[in-house]
A and B are shown apart, each in its own frame.
Chain A
Amino acid sequence: MNKKEWPLWEVFIRSKQGLDHKHVGSIHAADAEMAILNARDVYTRRMEGVSIWVVESSHIHASNPEEAGSFFDPANDKVYRHPTFYVVPAEIKNM
């Protein structure tokens, strides 16, 4: 990578409807403050957001796609782990 290039940042936006910040994409910026400004300019132009998180992409550690089988397949036949046997009370929101 060209050393003069700004680092990449991952952008997470919390929308009006949502309670969680969702990954929306990435941007380049020299530092965290500029990353938030850039994220605002690129990802919240259509009233999408009420809050922004940014994190430098290099700080994210990902699982290895080659290990996807051993990681995720064992859960396939364990349907009892889904709490589908309970009735969610009407008072509980945001489940």
Chain B
Amino acid sequence: MMDHHTQPAHVLHELQFKTPLQEYSPEVRQLVFDYTLQLADTSLILSHRLAEWCGHGPILEQDMAMTNISLDLLGEARNLYQYAAELEGKGHTEDDLAYLRDAVAYKNPLLVEQPNGNFGDTVLRQFIFDTFHYFFLKELQNSTDHRLAAIAEKSLKEASYHIKWSSEWVIRLGDGTEESKKRMEAAIDELWTYSGELFEATPTEKALQELDIIPDYTSIKAEWDKHVAQVLQEATLALPQDQWMQSGGKYGRHSEHLGYILSDLQYLQRTYPGQKW
């Protein structure tokens, strides 16, 4: 993938070298493969959304902040796709997995494919995700799967910055001007319904949780609730009541947005197969 800035080749090798592929039964291996892809898809799609801001940010400083976060997520996605390709063992590369799968094969939650909207919408989408991502990676570091644990440890440093960035912005926009507050309220109305899917375990996730390969979401949800409530309060924004939540992305049932993202993202590789950076 076209990302030599965040992930020089030696970093990937280092992760591979430190953590050789574990012995799994074919069934467990399939589960870990499916789940690793789900994580990779999630980071890739959100990375792409943030990259769409490149050159369009409200000010230069935030243009760069969003593309920096985008590159962090792209680096994480690369590590995950590469691990998935190894697990699959069919000779596919990270590029095949990212660029040659159709929308139904993508397992990212619906939240990350939602359109950028205005800056406030993007900040809120990022805040919902970053808070999940941060507390999730903290737990995933303890995974019995050494490679996932190593990837989590590496990405956590970046995620710690992301959660700070988006939390500070939620506070400043919520407790900002009348206009910025109105926009943040609209963003919450629009996006809150996609937050539940992050914590909804699919059969794959449940099986992996029982095997202690991935963390249970209960405690992560509690940390998420706490942080979100704290930030919204400081932002003078109302915490939404429990409500009906959208889901489906983790099963490959996506909104129409994902198709457009993939046609952008995959165009080059599908038109000129086998191109390399």
User: Do A29 and B61 contact each other (CB < 8 Å), given the known contacts A34-B168, A34-B172, A37-B165?
Assistant: yes
Specify the chain B residue showing the minimal Cβ separation from A38: B61
Does A45 contact B68, Cβ atoms closer than 8 Å?
Answer: yes
Q: Which of A6, A31, A37 contacts B65, CB < 8 Å?
A: A37
Q: State the main secondary structure of chain B at its contact with A.
A: helix
A window 1-45: CB within 8 A of B: 6, 27-31, 33-34, 37-38, 40-42, 45
Q: Is B164 part of the contact surface with A, judged by Cβ < 8 Å?
A: yes
Does B64 contact A41, Cβ atoms closer than 8 Å?
Answer: yes
Cα–Cα distance between A40 and B168 once the two chains are bound (Å)? 14
Does A42 contact B172, Cβ atoms closer than 8 Å?
Answer: no
Does A38 contact B65, Cβ atoms closer than 8 Å?
Answer: yes
What sequence of 0s and 1s flags, for each residue 17-44 of chain B, a beta carbon within 8 Å of any chain A beta carbon? Answer: 0000000000000000000000000000
Cα–Cα distance between A34 and B64 once the two chains are bound (Å)? 13
Could you tell me how many residues of chain B have their Cβ less than 8 Å away from some Cβ of chain A?
A: 12
CB distance from A82 to the nearest CB of B (A): 41
Cα–Cα distance between A28 and B64 once the two chains are bound (Å)? 13
> How extensive is the interface on chain A, given as a class?
10 to 19
Q: Which residues of B contact A6 (CB under 8 A)?
A: 59
User: Do A30 and B64 contact each other (CB < 8 Å), given the known contacts A37-B164, A37-B165?
Assistant: no
Q: Which residues of A contact B65 (CB under 8 A)?
A: 37-38, 41
CB distance from B231 to the nearest CB of A (A): 14
Does A42 contact B64, Cβ atoms closer than 8 Å?
Answer: yes
CB distance from A35 to the nearest CB of B (A): 9
What sequence of 0s and 1s flags, for each residue 55-72 of chain B, a beta carbon within 8 Å of any chain A beta carbon? Answer: 000011110110010000
What sequence of 0s and 1s flags, for each residue 157-179 of chain B, a beta carbon within 8 Å of any chain A beta carbon? Answer: 00001001100100010000000
Specify the chain A residue showing the minimal Cβ separation from B64: A41
Q: Which of A28, A37, A42, A45 contacts B168, CB < 8 Å?
A: A37
Specify the chain A residue showing the minimal Cβ separation from B69: A41
Q: Which residues of B contact A31 (CB under 8 A)?
A: 172
Q: Which residues of A contact B64 (CB under 8 A)?
A: 41-42, 45
Does B61 contact A27, Cβ atoms closer than 8 Å?
Answer: yes
Cα–Cα distance between A40 and B59 once the two chains are bound (Å)? 15
Q: Which residues of B contact A38 (CB under 8 A)?
A: 61-62, 65
Q: Which residues of B contact A33 (CB under 8 A)?
A: 168
CB distance from A40 to the nearest CB of B (A): 8
Does B68 contact A28, Cβ atoms closer than 8 Å?
Answer: no
Q: Which residues of A contact B60 (CB under 8 A)?
A: 27-28, 42
CB distance from B127 to the nearest CB of A (A): 14
Residue pairs across A and B with Cβ atoms less than 8 A apart, 6 shown, are A27-B61, A28-B59, A33-B168, A34-B168, A34-B172, A41-B65
Given A37-B164, A37-B165, A45-B64, 10 more pairs with CB closer than 8 A:
A27-B60, A28-B59, A28-B61, A29-B61, A38-B65, A41-B61, A41-B64, A42-B60, A42-B64, A45-B68
**What 6 A-B pairs are tightest by C-beta distance, nearest first?**
A38-B61, A41-B65, A41-B64, A27-B61, A42-B64, A41-B68
